[in-house]
């Protein structure tokens, strides 16, 4: 099979990943072997390939927004999935199930958690092995290309929206409007929110307005009204004070990224007083994933995608870094 491996983390302009040909993996007990039909290109993949995140598995295959068809179920595996079924593989790959965090329903905080495309090989390949207990049933009515971004961009965006504690009918600000934000925007709008988008990219601002945002302006511009909640999707710490200043009294700022550049000093009176609060986001739980995918099954989402053949993974990562597309990039090993 073909697979992209991180040969040496570094700037994507220097091609830190290489395409290799190797035997397809063999699933162990509790695992599924999937033929990859689509894999989203997530900003976390960029952090893995460029070395923003520490190396967990040398030479790892990136990719954790995987849509794959089951081709083998390992002997001894108990699962409701069937050979031939299309399933999803997200970022969260494994938790211990016994620690205090797992027991209280916060498995995303598990100290023993493992992640697809970081601790184990991911979906920038023709085949991938995934634990059956962490694979996800997919909503109907979408193509594999459309489904792929739901599996991290959508799920993490949904988690970030929950952490933002947006009141019913509230005013929400989104900082950055890429693969994740354009999906969570639709959830918030469906729930009656007023949406304001702050992003540097003109194409993304146009998309935000098309989807129903009340305003769209540059990243550091002030929204036209105070916000009840905001989510920062861009991995830029300098945005945090700007977003906090835009919050109304009692507002909540949710930080959606796994990696962010340093945040500048905060001024207590300008940024934090009046009971403003900041919530970070660490991965997601399987419960979050299933809630969001049920929503996507019940409400048809517009999913903005740009397709790349598997052989062009390095180009997709470079284009993601440069902001050359609105929405999400998706690798297709075998185009329709």
Residue 103: pLDDT over 90: yes
Answer yes or no: do 176 and 306 share one domain.
Answer: no
Domain termination site, one of 238, 254, 280: 280
Nearest-10 Cα torsion for 106, 111, 113, 115: 110
Answer yes or no: do 177 and 268 share one domain.
Answer: yes
Answer yes or no: do 146 and 293 share one domain.
Answer: yes
Task: For residue 257, name the pLDDT band (cuts at 50, 70, 90).
Answer: confident
Answer yes or no: do 142 and 54 share one domain.
Answer: yes
Answer yes or no: do 35 and 87 share one domain.
Answer: yes
Residue 189: pLDDT over 70: yes
Task: For residue 321, name the pLDDT band (cuts at 50, 70, 90).
Answer: very high
Domain termination site, one of 280, 296, 313: 280
Answer yes or no: do 256 and 179 share one domain.
Answer: yes
Answer yes or no: do 311 and 209 share one domain.
Answer: no
Q: What is the pTM of this model?
A: 0.94
CA distance 239 to 267: 14
The enclosing domain of 195 has a CATH number of 3.40.50.720
Answer yes or no: do 24 and 107 share one domain.
Answer: yes
Answer yes or no: do 100 and 191 share one domain.
Answer: no
The enclosing domain of 295 has a CATH number of 3.90.180.10
What residues are paired with 39 via a beta bridge?
66, 331
The string of pLDDT tens digits covering residues 203-251 is: 999 999 999 999 999 999 999 999 999 999 999 999 999 999 999 999 9
Task: For residue 335, name the pLDDT band (cuts at 50, 70, 90).
Answer: low
Domain that holds residue 57: 2-151+283-332
> Measured on CA atoms in the order 268, 231, 275, 227, is the torsion positive or negative?
positive
The domain total for the chain is 2
Answer yes or no: do 7 and 110 share one domain.
Answer: yes
- State the DSSP string of 186-219: HHHHHTT-EEEEE-S-HHHHHHHHHHT-SEEE-T
Residue 94, pLDDT score? 97
Tokens of 15: 């091609």
Residue 334, pLDDT score? 81
Answer yes or no: do 243 and 296 share one domain.
Answer: no
Residue 16 contacts residue 313 (beta carbons within 8 Å): no
Which strand (E) or helix (H) includes residue 298? helix 286-298
Residue 336, pLDDT score? 54
* DSSP for residue 288: H
Answer yes or no: do 53 and 169 share one domain.
Answer: no
Residue 326: pLDDT over 90: no
* DSSP for residue 323: T
């Amino acid at each position: 099979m073909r697979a992209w491996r991180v040969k040496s983390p570094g700037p994507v302009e220097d091609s830190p990943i290489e395409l290799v040909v190797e035997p397809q993996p063999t699933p162990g007990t509790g695992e599924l072997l999937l033929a990859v039909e689509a894999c989203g290109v997530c900003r976390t993949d960029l952090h893995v390939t460029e070395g923003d995140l520490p190396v967990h598995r040398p030479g790892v295959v990136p990719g954790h927004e995987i849509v794959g068809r089951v081709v083998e179920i390992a002997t001894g595996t108990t699962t409701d999935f069937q050979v031939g079924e299309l399933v999803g593989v997200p970022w969260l790959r494994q938790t211990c199930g016994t620690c205090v965090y797992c027991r209280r329903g916060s498995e995303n905080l598990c100290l023993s958690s493992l992640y697809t495309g970081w601790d184990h090989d991911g979906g920038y390949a023709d085949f991938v092995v995934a634990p059956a207990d962490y694979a996800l049933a997919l909503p109907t009515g979408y193509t594999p290309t459309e489904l792929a971004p739901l599996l991290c961009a959508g799920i993490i965006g949904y988690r970030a929206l929950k952490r933002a504690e947006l009141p019913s009918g509230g005013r929400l600000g989104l900082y950055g409007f890429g693969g994740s934000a354009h999906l969570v925007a639709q959830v918030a709008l469906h729930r009656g929110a007023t949406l304001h988008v702050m992003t540097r990219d003109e194409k993304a601002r146009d998309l935000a307005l098309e989807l129903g945002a009340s305003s769209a302006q540059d990243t550091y511009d002030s929204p036209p009204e105070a916000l009840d909640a905001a989510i920062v999707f861009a991995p830029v710490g300098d945005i945090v004070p700007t977003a906090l200043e835009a919050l109304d009294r009692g507002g909540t700022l949710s930080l959606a990224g796994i990696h962010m550049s340093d945040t500048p000093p905060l001024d207590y009176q300008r940024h934090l007083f009046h009971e403003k609060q900041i919530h970070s986001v660490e991965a997601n739980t399987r419960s979050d994933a299933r809630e969001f995918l049920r929503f996507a099954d019940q409400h048809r989402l517009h999913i903005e995608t740009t397709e790349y053949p598997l052989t062009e993974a390095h180009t997709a990562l470079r284009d993601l870094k440069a902001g050359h597309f609105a929405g999400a990039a998706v690798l297709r090993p075998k185009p329709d």
